[in-house]
Structures are given as structure tokens and as C-alpha cells.
Chains A and B, each alone.
Chain A
Amino acid sequence: NAGVTQTPKFRVLKTGQSMTLLCAQDMNHEYMYWYRQDPGMGLRLIHYSVGEGTTAKGEVPDGYNVSRLKKQNFLLGLESAAPSQTSVYFCASSYEGVNQPQHFGDGTRLSIL
């Protein structure tokens, strides 16, 4: 049982390049989330999805887009990468319900030069 799988694990981009981070979960979770983790700031929610075909903005959505075409996948896109987007990105998923814990992937370390 893989849980939440993120690819790639590391990536270095140049300013202005685009890329997509992939998150896949095999737990049949309804909800999925993308966070970024920066030193001294904890985790901040970028975008989330409450079901296949739905997406919504979180706390820090600017510069990112997402898609949830299949229930098990949640993609995070950077259309034109900026140095301020250098961070560690975590995907998470959970069952539907306000008190369901979130399950996290191993993270993607992204550096923008």
C-alpha cells in the first residue's frame, strides 16, 4: 500500500520555466491538498480539492494551478517559475469529513534559480 506518492522528489528549475508536480493516492480519499513548507512558516495550503473535477484556492494560490481529472491524482502546475516558489511541496489526502486526518506524501524539493 503506497499511500500518497509524489513525483518528482527533487527538481531544479530556471526562472520562467514551467513544470507539473504529480500526486497520486491509492486510499480512495475524496479530499486532496497541496501545501508548501518554508522555514519558520510551517505548512501553507496552496490549493485543495474536495472531489474529482473540483479545485479550490487555499491560502497561497498565486502562481500555481491545479487539476483533479481523476480521483486518485492531483496535479500542481507552475506556469512560470519564480525564485519565491523555491520550497518543499507536500501533497496530502484524506477521507471526507471535518475530523479526518490527512495523509502526507514524502514531499518534492523544488529550487528555482
Chain B
Amino acid sequence: AQSVSQHNHHVILSEAASLELGCNYSYGGTVNLFWYVQYPGQHLQLLLKYFSGDPLVKGIKGFEAEFIKSKFSFNLRKPSVQWSDTAEYFCAVNANTGFQKLVFGTGTRLLVSP
């Protein structure tokens, strides 16, 4: 069975600091990888996704993530965070076979102080 680990449960940063959120998954086959963001009081929105090709993917709002197959990782990065990035971030993975049952990590709460 697939699983997803997000090691940072809470992260506090000042504006303009750089961000890296860790995501590791366990699955031996080909996977599809996603990062979703949930702003306070809102629904989940897709930040970015990786299916194949260039392992460095760029998403909305200046976010990017790098897929490192050898490390089973898909870390999320942003060079300079803003107060408006305060949200909860979820990594998710599904196997690239059959029905796409997404498995989510437990989430990372990011608080950006002005």
C-alpha cells in the first residue's frame, strides 16, 4: 500500500524567507505526485503536479517541486514566501496504474509572519 510522509507538521517563517517542505512516499512503481494547498477556511486547490518528464515542476504562485526518484521524495519549494502563503500544504500520490486513488500526507501548516 502506498503511504505519504510529511515530516514538518508546523513551519513558521518570516516574509521573504525561503521555504522547503518535505514529502516522501512509499511505492515501488511509477507514481503521480501532487501538492495541494488549503488556505484558511477554503477548499483544497492544486498547486502543482508531476506525472513524467522534467523532475522539476513549476506550479502557481511561484511554487516549485522536485521529484527525486532515488529518494522517493517530492519536496515543495519557494524562494521567498509571502504572508498570503499562510496555509496548510498537502502532498499526495497515486500509483500510475488503474484507478487513481490519491493518498494524502498529514499536511504541513505554514505560518508566515509579516
Contacts and interface: CB of A to CB of B under 8 A. Distances in A.
A97 B36 CA distance: 18
A74 interface: no
A110 interface: no
Interface stretch (A38-46, A62-70, A77-85): A38-46
A102 B42 contact: no
B43 interface: yes
A106 B43 contact: yes
Interface string B82-107: 00000000100011111111101111
B68 interface: no
A34 interface: no
B9 interface: yes
A100 B104 contact: no
B17 to A, nearest CB: 25
Contacts of B97: 98
Nearest to A98: B100
Interface of A: 4, 31, 40-45, 48, 50, 58, 90, 92, 94, 97-102, 104-107
